[in-house]
Amino acid sequence: MILSALLTSAGINTAVCVACFSLYSVLRKQPSLLNVYFGQKLSHVPLKCNDPFCFERFVPSPSWILKAWETSDEEMNAVGGLDALVFDRTMVFSIRIFSIAAIVCLFLVLPLNYFGQEVKHTLTPGESLEIFTIENVKEGSKWLWAHCLALYIITCSTCTLLYFEYKYITSMRLAYIRSSISNPSYFTVLVRGVPWSEEEAYSEMVAKFFTNYYASSYLSHQIVYRSGVVQKLVTDAEKVYRMLKPGQNGSSLLRCGICGGKSASFKILSSDTEVDKERRDLNGPNLRDQECAAALVFFRTRYAALVASQGIKSPNPMLWVTDLAPEPRDMYWSNICVPYRLLWIRKIIILMASIFFVAFFLVPVSLTQGLVHLDKLQHTFPFLRGALKRKFIIQLVTGYLPSVVLILFSYMVPPIMMLFSTMEGSISRSGRKKSACIKILYFMVWNVFFAQTISGSVIDGWSAIDQLGKNLKDFPNLLARAVPSTATFFITFVLWNKDESTYGTMTFPYHTEFPRVLLLSLLGYTCSILAPLILPPLLVYFFLAYIVYRNQILNVYVTKYQTGGRYWIIVHKATMFSVVLTQIIALGVFGLKKSTVATGFTIPLIICTLLFNEYCRQRFHPVFRNNPAQVLVEMDRMDEQNGRMKEIYQKVTSAYCQFRRTSLTLGNPVPLNPNEKNMLQELEDDVNPAALRPDQLPGSWNEHTQLEIEEELPNK
């Protein structure tokens, strides 16, 4: 790729970025779009405002950027939860580490790459970008020690910053656990694989087992029912509510099934007598037939629930399988009824489907590399030689189109991976999204980095992969040859990755945004000493993403459920993988360049990095996998001393209602209890209460939030 192609890509993407920022700055001022750009706040309170004409509404302003920048970590945690704070700290960590890498590599490594050969440079737009990479350094050069020194600085800075971030996030997770005093999930254990008995129902089996083996700590239990029909009633009722006009009788309430239900449509019930009759019908004699081999068991203390959730409960590990239950709003009820003995079969099927999908995606990957290597593309398709003679067309094809094609094909990945994660049988919505995040990350690392690096064109890509499969020991050398030559494509890929405003979703899309950020971090690490030109656009991306994502968390996305900071484990593992992979590639490059000194000093660096990773895994990871028993016991003692246990028991036993009674007000607002207000948040992810008109949103009037939103609008 030539320098002019890179400048063309940078110019196009800069113009697109400025246009998007300006358009967003104008659209967020329109009162008619408040439910789109302030969904997070409007999900709690209604807002009534007129839509008068004001010229200031159509002038871009940077006020939202300043407010996003000035928000503290405490405010971010209070609004978006710990997962949002983890994402925010990931952006901060990326900005810090790549700022250090940019200073070191641009002032130390880049000049050595540029003057690596004893030739005269003109620095014209037609000059190849390869002269800025390590490819331009001649074999046996004595200056390769500078690349090794830069690698040491980047690695040591990464480990140091990562340690302090890990320590900070761990303290925030412990604070999150301590602050969740009335969290019912700490008292609740999900039991699956309940044995079948012709004489006793599942509910009786659960009561008998836990009364026998956990008599002192067992409180009660709740059986899980098949949710297909009744969940459809809830969804249908919500959809019809959206279509009803607000002028209807405000006293009519839409009631849906409670636990179990008949295969019938929703009903509008206007009196308590009709509600009681409907409830008796739902709890008829056929209710036992709808029981699943799963139950929620409630314990008297948090510590007792933690102990009961660990270890096997019977000689057959497929029976009486226990886990700490997710939070009520986080429960993914439809997967809990999946027989536990079938989950391993599902996982094998999903693994095979994922492998097939990755193989299928190699086609667009090879196509994008064919666009980068224009000479190979012309050789494969001779009829393109005439059209690819114009200078601007060449710059557009090599500098812009490859990244566009790859990213457009990548849009099909998240929904497919989310489907795979659902079919695996995750018991929580946050767990399903976390599983999809890991799958998308694996997919991107392989298809965007490894496959993109290995495959130079449609033909050469398959031959290279075939050669790699025959001789895996040459993998470091293969990467050492391929990464520097592909680094120019990764530079344009970073330039094209602007932040999309996915305001249509209700919760923050962690499963798509974490992989995107971690993939770009991988590209930054691996190309830092090989092609330092990637660092400036990468820093620009992280700075813009930091502002945009903070604004979306504060104003747009609604936090329905969270993992309690468990995404940080993914961030840590991905960062360590990126650092070690960078060191391995550098080791191969130093070997190809015949630099004995640089090669010898890189090997102990790899060993020390792996030891640091193992230390973090032993020191911090357990806190993210389980809740510390010491903290739970202290919380139990405090509640017992304050006399709150009786109140907590009542909340715990009523929190997990699989088919909650739902009240949706038609017309004038009436007071709703907390369970009714959370109805929309307990539906599927595609149900978005922010899409409702402000005057239809439940909740009480909050003047402070009204003023917060009005501050974003121009004076009328």
What single string gives the DSSP state of each residue in 241-258? HHHS-TTS-TT-EEE--S
Residue linked to tokens 């309430």 = 253
Q: What is the pLDDT of residues 669-703, one digit of tens each?
A: 334 344 334 433 433 333 333 333 333 333 333 44
Burial of 279 (0-12, 13-18, 19+ CB in 10 A): middle
CB 540 within 8 A of CB 99: no
Q: Provide Rg for the chain, Cα atoms.
A: 29
Question: How many separate helices (H) and strands (E) can be counted in the chain?
Answer: 32, 6
Take residue 13 and report the two structure tokens written for it: 């993407």
Contact predicate 137/593, CB 8 Å: yes
The confidence score (pLDDT) of residue 604 equals 95
β-bridge partners, 221: 297
Residue 192's pLDDT is what?
94
- DSSP character string of 40-56: HHHTTS---------GG
C-alpha 476: how far from chain center: 30
| AA identity, residue 463 | S
Query: Do residues 6 and 534 make contact, with C-beta atoms less than 8 angstroms apart?
Result: no
The token pair that represents 613 in the structure block: 């990773």
Give the pLDDT confidence score for residue 237 in this predicted structure: 55
C-alpha 5/C-alpha 413 separation (Å) is 28
CA distances from 625 to 348, 442, 563, 621, 628 (A): 24, 21, 10, 7, 9
Q: Which residues of the chain have pLDDT under 70?
A: 1-10, 13, 28-60, 118-129, 227-288, 364-405, 455-482, 484-485, 487-489, 492-493, 495-506, 659-716
Name residues whose C-beta falls within 8 Å of residue 24's C-beta, 6 or more positions apart in sequence.
501
Residue 599 identity:
T
pTM > 0.75 = yes
Q: What class does CATH assign to 184-239+287-326+629-659?
A: alpha beta
Q: Are strands 218-225 and 253-255 parallel, antiparallel or unpaired?
A: unpaired
Residue 474: the pLDDT is 60
First vs last C-alpha separation in the chain = 52
At residue 205, the pLDDT reads 92
CB 520 within 8 A of CB 574: no
Structure tokens at 302: 């948090």
Over the stretch 24-51, which tens digit does the pLDDT of each residue have?
777 766 665 666 666 565 555 555 555 5
Question: Which residue has 């948090």 as its token pair?
Answer: 302
Of 625, 424, 435, nearest to 514 by C-alpha is: 435
The whole-angstrom separation of Cα 672 and Cα 679 is 11
What's the CA gap between 231 and 245, in Å, rounded? Answer: 24
Best CA proximity match to 318, nearest among 300, 341, 299, 296: 341
Helix (H, G, I), strand (E, B) or coil at 418: helix
Phi and psi, residue 224, nearest 5°:
-100, 140
Residue 409 CA to residue 419 CA, distance in Å, equals 17
Q: What type of residue is 298? A: F
Helical segments of 29-130, H only:
34-37, 39-42, 63-70, 73-80, 82-104, 110-114
Q: Which two tokens stand for residue 322?
A: 């226990």
DSSP state of 326: P
* Eight-class DSSP state of 139: T
Residue pair 583/609 in contact (Cβ under 8 Å)? The answer is yes
**Residue 322: strand pairing partners:** 191
| pLDDT score of 172 | 94
pLDDT of residue 623: 93
Question: Where along the chain do its domains lie?
Answer: 61-181+342-627, 184-239+287-326+629-659
Token pair in block for residue 274: 């009709």
Task: In whole angstroms, give the CA distance from residue 237 to residue 243.
Answer: 10
Query: What three-state secondary structure class fits 558?
Result: coil
> What pLDDT is attached to residue 169?
96
CB 429, CB 685: distance < 8 Å: yes
DSSP SS3 for 564: coil
**Alpha carbons 275 and 647: distance in angstroms, whole number:** 27
The 3-state DSSP class for residue 543 equals: helix
DSSP annotation string for 228-241: HHHHHHHHHHHHHH
Cross-strand partners of 268:
254
